[in-house]
Structure 1
Amino acid sequence: MLFLTAILLSCNTHAEPTEIVVGATQTDKYFPLLEGKTVGLVVNNTSRVNKLHLVDFLVKNEIDVKKIFAPEHGFRGDVSAGGKVEDGVDTQTGLPVFSLYGETRKPTPEHLDGLDAMIFDIQDVGCRFYTYISTLHLVLEACAEYDVPLIVLDRPNPNGDYVAGPVRKEGFESFVSMDPIPIVHGCTVGELAKMINGEHWHKAGKACNLTIVPVLNYNHTMMYSLPERPSPNLPNDLSVRLYPSLCFFEATSVSVGRGTDFPFQVLGGLNENLGEFEFTPRSIPGVAINPLNKDKKCYGIDLRELEEAPKFTLKYFIDFYHKYENESEFLTRERWLNLLAGTDDLIMQIREGKNEAQILESWQAELEQYKKLRKKYLLYPDFE
């Protein structure tokens, strides 16, 4: 089992040197920027100052919060993957909540009307296909277009100790691959915001007025244990660490454990030759309403037995691919796989019989270029 070092969070900006202090707790850095201003918040269940939600914390401190914007999984983090997030009202504060994961994914002029500033505070897990950073991209774009300053309250990246995977190619842009970055991008949300803004990847035509409140006492060599699950199907450190390697299975007939108590910690399909471990996905409200292979016994492998979770690897995907006689029984959504990968090279290389080492080597030149670009925007000591 993977164990990551638990890191304490504190409201005290004079914390001990080993203590991580996230941006949201550093009120001396951003409260002065909000004085006398009306504020919008892009937040979810991870947006906390210790145990208190950022919305409640700011209202309690008499910050004039006017609107809340919700990403995938909703404001309270209780909507299943891909489920439509509805507009509504926060029952705790009475504030209006506007969905950025429904028919509208980018704040509109009406959304931003009357706001003097926007705050983005959401925990990311360091993968290109995790849609919170796609929401960040579109919020940056909208704020730039309508001259609304954006403040990003930064948080550590639990997969921020390395960079891996193919860089997204042109023609494979989607909400799971907005920007030309690798699958494991090695940046915090604050660093990514700087990169998207600085490289003019959004379409505003001008830079956003961007402020980052960095994490104190953090660097990219650290392992970080998330105090809140970042989404319903990433419940613990092991699932977060395996997520970059297992997400490709979402385009196949193989379950990653959605609809179980251990999502993104197992793999299994309906063929008995896939492995000796057995599990049966079920409907779990707010987590997995209609999971793949619902109510059917799956056979495969239990990754909870790992002593240490690997960094990004193609091992599991290639192994399962070769266990099927017919590719069509395994790969059920090829276009979705290509969007997740950000390229169609991956599936072509697997079809050609290339092994993991050969495929990884084919990505190295683009990864080296990306690493040079990334260094321009780093806020924290790097792993290299």
Structure 2
Amino acid sequence: MHKSTLLACVILSLFTVTCSFSQFESSVKVGAEVLLEEHLYELEGKRVGLVMNPTARVKGSHMLDTLLASDVNVTALFAPEHGFRGDVGAGEKIEDGVDQATGLPVFSLYGETKKPTPEMLEKVDLLLFDMQDVGGRFYTYNVTLGNIISAAAPQDVPVWVLDRPNPAGGELISGWMMQKEHQSFVGRYPIPMVHGMTLGELAKMMVAEQWIKNANEAEVKVIPMKGWERSMRWRQTGLQWIPPSPNLPTFEHGFVYLGTVLFEGVNISEGRGTSDPFLKIGAPGTKLNSGHIARLRRSFSGINVERISFTPQAIPGKARHPDFEDERCHGVEIQITDPTRFDPVLFGTTLLAVMLDATPEAELNDFVQKLSGIDKKMLLDQLQEKTYLENWEKTRKEFGKQRSPYLLY
């Protein structure tokens, strides 16, 4: 083949790949985009409240700005954990206030009350809920959604859920089922640690299954996505990752978090106070050997584990007082090479067993029960006897059947 012809073929091939990628990038339309294209007229004449955070974006623009520019009468903002603007650290109390950019009132859903009061709801005729979830039961946005629906129902305020992808995909179901005695704001519903559902699907399920108060009175409308498939991990959606909280700066952090979140219930650092929370795990007294690392590498593909040392430090807005602040910790750094090839909950649980073995002073605290959903003694027993996989498989089958009527994709 002539060189010029070959060059032309290469350029054409690259152009084709680029075009295909460009089309793939826009293949998923989130519920917010569908709302703007198909349902905006339904908001005319209504006082609209927004339950959102910085992830509520379409093509780079925040929904608050887009709706105001479209002359939608936005009358109130509601702030979940981390705040409406996403500048509040994990677990930090949020106060009512005023949004400086717009002058609109901001009502806290993560302070003295975690649900809207009747007085707050007097300002709205309809609520739009739009937040990016990470796919874990312990991520508080699903409980906030339930609280919103429950509080709005007796006030005759409809709730519209603008659906977004589950970053971990819609097929992965993993981890322990929540036991009733360990329910809390980081795990209220009887679902597995990783449920494989979108928040729109969960909204339908929590109403139909009567998991929330006032379910019979609730008026919930889900604006579904277009183009999303259950097999997709986040990278395959082509959507930009907007951190759903300060300590999950990338999809990789959010994906591994689904398993390494368990370290929030152990006196071992989960990496807060470093550049890679949930990807760096360790403690001052941890002594890993080559066998520990070999076990992790041998057991999982799509992920790499390296021994490291790190020193957690206070980071405003991310880690005010991290565990082992200014102390040298020894542990592992996790690097993802292919998120489709491993289960992050299984990895996190295996890593927990390894780190407990390598850290003589390590102890589980009661918070691990709220995260895992089971008693900490039972958790330790299952780790030692390696019986949790049987438990998870039973949960996967039973919950997979139970959730089936509520799936939208």
Give TM-score, length-normalised by structure 1.
Answer: 0.90
Q: CA offset at residue 353 of structure 1?
A: 5.7
Q: Is 2:353 the counterpart of 1:322? A: no
Aligned residue among 355, 359, 372 for 1:341? 372
Partner of 2:396: 367
Does residue 182 in structure 1 map to residue 179 in structure 2? no
Amino acid at match of 1:217: G
Match of 1:116 in 2: 125
CA contact (8 A) 2:382 2:388 kept: no
Q: CA deviation at 1:352?
A: 6.2
Say which of 68, 71, 89 aligns to 1:62.
71
Match of 1:296 among 309, 327, 349: 327
Q: Which residue of 2 aligns with 1:271?
A: 285
Where 1:143 maps in the other structure, the secondary structure is: helix
Q: Say if 1:197 and 1:207, in contact at 8 Å, map to a contact too.
A: no
1:258 and 2:280 aligned: no
CA RMSD of aligned residues (A): 2.0
Contact 1:145 1:206 in 2 (8 A): no
Q: What code does the residue aligned with 1:216 have?
A: K
2:93 paired residue among 81, 84, 108: 84
Q: What is the CA-CA distance between 1:223 and the residue it aligns to?
A: 1.5
Specify the SS of the correspondent of 1:114: coil
Of 38, 54, 75, the residue aligned with 1:29 is 38
CA contact (8 A) 2:55 2:242 kept: yes
Whole-Å separation in 1 of the counterparts to 2:103 and 2:215: 35
Shift in Å, 1:16: 6.9
Deviations 1:321-362 (A, max 9, x none): 12233xxx31252x2111111111x64242366344x21212
2:146, 2:29 → 1: CA distance?
24
SS of aligned partner of 2:271 = coil
Q: Secondary structure at the match of 2:323?
A: coil
Report the Cα distance in structure 2 between the residues aligned to 1:184 and 1:352, rounded to whole angstroms.
18
| Cα pair 2:286 2:358 within 8 Å, conserved | no
* Higher alpha-carbon deviation: 154-163 or 174-183: 154-163
C-alpha displacement at 1:303, in angstroms? 0.6
- For 1:115, give the aligned amino acid: V
Secondary structure of 1:303's counterpart equals strand
TM-aligned CA deviation for residue 287 of structure 1: 1.0
Answer yes or no: is the 8 Å Cα contact 1:200–1:207 preserved in 2. no
- Cα distance in 1 between the residues matched to 2:363 and 2:112: 28
Q: CA deviation at 1:290?
A: 0.8
For 2:273 and 2:122, locate their aligned partners in 1 and report how far apart those are by CA, in whole Å: 40
| Cα distance between partner residues in 2 of 1:217 and 1:352 | 40
Which residue number corresponds to residue 137 of structure 1?
146
Gap regions ≥5 residues in structure 1: 1-7
Match of 2:301 in 1: none
Code of the aligned partner of 2:391: S
Are 1:204 and 2:214 an aligned pair? yes
Q: Distance in 2 between matches of 1:278 and 1:254?
A: 13
Percent sequence identity over aligned pairs: 41
- Higher helix proportion, which one? 2
Flag structure 2 segments of 5+ consecutive residues without an equivalent: 1-19, 290-306
Give the residue type in structure 2 aligned to 1:253: N
Aligned length: 362
Single out whichever of 50-59 and 199-208 deviates more from structure 2. 199-208
**Matched AA of 1:371:** G
Distance 2:24 2:249 in 1: 28
3-state SS of the aligned residue for 2:407? coil
Alpha-carbon distance in 2 for matches of 1:279, 1:308:
25
Instruction: Report the Cα offset of residue 367 of structure 1.
Output: 2.7
Distance, in Å, in 2 between the alignment partners of 1:253 and 1:374 is 35
Asked if the contact 1:29–1:213 (Cα under 8 Å) also holds between the matched residues in 2, the reply is no
TM-score (norm 2): 0.84
When residues 354 and 85 of structure 1 are mapped into structure 2, their CA distance, relative to the original with a 3 A threshold, is same
Q: What CA deviation, in whole Å up to 9, does each residue of 1:252-272 have, x standing for no partner?
A: 121111111111111110115
**Secondary structure of the corresponding residue to residue 90 of structure 2:** coil
In the alignment, the residues of structure 2 paired with residue 210 and residue 80 of structure 1 have an alpha-carbon distance, to the nearest angstrom, of: 30
Describe the superposition over 1:75-123 as per-residue Cα deviations: whole angstroms up to 9, x where unpaired: 1111111011121111111101111001110111001013110000000
Larger Rg: 2
Aligned residue among 371, 376, 384 for 1:354: 384
